[in-house]
Structure 1
């Protein structure tokens, strides 16, 4: 990847729509997503797509913080291992860490504890400097606006909130995006552009901590020992990108068929 490409890690509790959010960013269903509170993602998964401006976007989906299977300590171990896997996938660091929350549910004390746990693992500075919040289930916000249950636009709604959400909203310096994961292709495309623009505004720096430094040292050692090559490292990226391009071709063929059928009516 070139220096202009982007690397993003998805974080959040089980059942908040991380995988669906990742699929919107990738513009294809690469991450498995099931509507249940059990975490489907038990290991980190890395996928690549191509943005409209030609850059490559790498998205890494991680298991939910506080996964519902096992004890709290077991859930934390799963998450720490997943972070290490995500670090191994991109030892150079990530341009943004996307915290996915669910619109319509209260941001509880448990959520806040999960956030504090993330700080323990990733460091206090990651939220202020690298974190962007995605509120999934945006179709519920849209319906609430249509039904006059919410009278203000999304950004104003965020500023009106109190409690733990107000705290996180300030910590991320108001970097919050609403995602309708079941919206139209045009709506999803606009959401993707909005989020990528927000990532770009972070300045192009990469988040790293001791995990990344350890992973980079290990990677360099393996390279020097000739146990792995850069060509081998790039294979997974190329396969992911080929799958994305294959999906685009299928989609374009489908649109062409529809247009042809319409013209022949």
Structure 2
């Protein structure tokens, strides 16, 4: 993990350095907003610990990295959050699609190592496939939050996944071709922050190259994008 997605001796396509649009999805409480802040390297998304979801409307924020790479990150409402009505969530997802003017380059499914993969998370993935089609898995990257808990227990992500990993999660990882990364959103170690961000961006580049530089846009995506 963390290695270059493209061979050092290959001619790197021009789209490798084009702006990226990343969408954060997942259940309430898994740390989507905190992950977005870590990616953008500043606090722009509202994130705090509470029983109900903090994010109830889609938000987009951008950043220019040190190498000039432009990142657009869209945070989404907590799917299956009981405090958000279904029709509101549907409208916000449509709003999210409209925000992604040039398409979606990677979908970051945020899970937490603090909890086992639940039926709710499985429903989120299934709902996303229904909304966007099975092709969506070609753009998915799994982000596991709670890296500080793993460090505290002196465990790795491999240890966590090896402990009776639920079959639905195994299936998801297989569909994503094992594209996964662990984030510690609480760390104050800048080197660690840089390392985990680079690991994620390496996977994003892998997704972009795998899809020929074409962002995610299927028929339903185009149809929803024109919703006023």
TM-score range normalised by the length of the shorter chain: 0.7 to 0.9
How far residue 215 of structure 1 moved from its aligned partner, in angstroms, is 5.7
Separation (CA, whole Å) in 2 of partners of 1:218 and 1:107:
33
Give the structure-2-normalised TM-score.
0.83
Contact 1:13 1:65 in 2 (8 A): yes
Separation (CA, whole Å) in 2 of partners of 1:52 and 1:67:
36
Tell me the residue number matched to 2:217: 208
> Mapping of 1:166-245 within 5 angstroms?
166-183=170-187, 184-202=189-207, 203=209, 204-214=213-223
Tell me the residue number matched to 1:45: 59
Question: Aligned pair 1:104/2:114, yes or no?
Answer: yes
Tell me the residue number matched to 2:140: 131
Contact 1:13 1:67 in 2 (8 A): yes
How far residue 159 of structure 1 moved from its aligned partner, in angstroms, is 5.4
How far residue 217 of structure 1 moved from its aligned partner, in angstroms, is 5.6
Q: Which has the higher helix share?
A: 1
Find the partner of 2:38 among 7, 19, 24.
24
Separation (CA, whole Å) in 1 of partners of 2:92 and 2:121:
19
How many pairs does the alignment contain?
207
**Cα 1:214/1:162, change in 2 over 3 Å:** closer
**Structure 1, unaligned runs of 5 or more:** 220-265
Separation (CA, whole Å) in 2 of partners of 1:188 and 1:211:
36
**Structure 2, unaligned runs of 5 or more:** 1-13
Contact 2:26 2:121 in 1 (8 A): no
How far residue 218 of structure 1 moved from its aligned partner, in angstroms, is 7.2
**Cα 1:103/1:91, change in 2 over 3 Å:** same
Computing the radius of gyration from Cα coordinates, the structure with the larger value is 1
> Mapping of 1:254-265 within 5 angstroms?
none
SS at match of 1:205: coil
Separation (CA, whole Å) in 2 of partners of 1:216 and 1:38:
29
Separation (CA, whole Å) in 1 of partners of 2:186 and 2:61:
20
Question: Aligned pair 1:163/2:164, yes or no?
Answer: no
Question: Aligned pair 1:122/2:132, yes or no?
Answer: yes
Find the partner of 2:68 among 46, 54, 59.
54
Tell me the residue number matched to 1:14: 28
Separation (CA, whole Å) in 1 of partners of 2:74 and 2:52:
19
Aligned CA RMSD, in angstroms, stands at 2.1
Separation (CA, whole Å) in 2 of partners of 1:173 and 1:216:
28
Tell me the residue number matched to 1:140: 149
Contact 1:84 1:211 in 2 (8 A): no
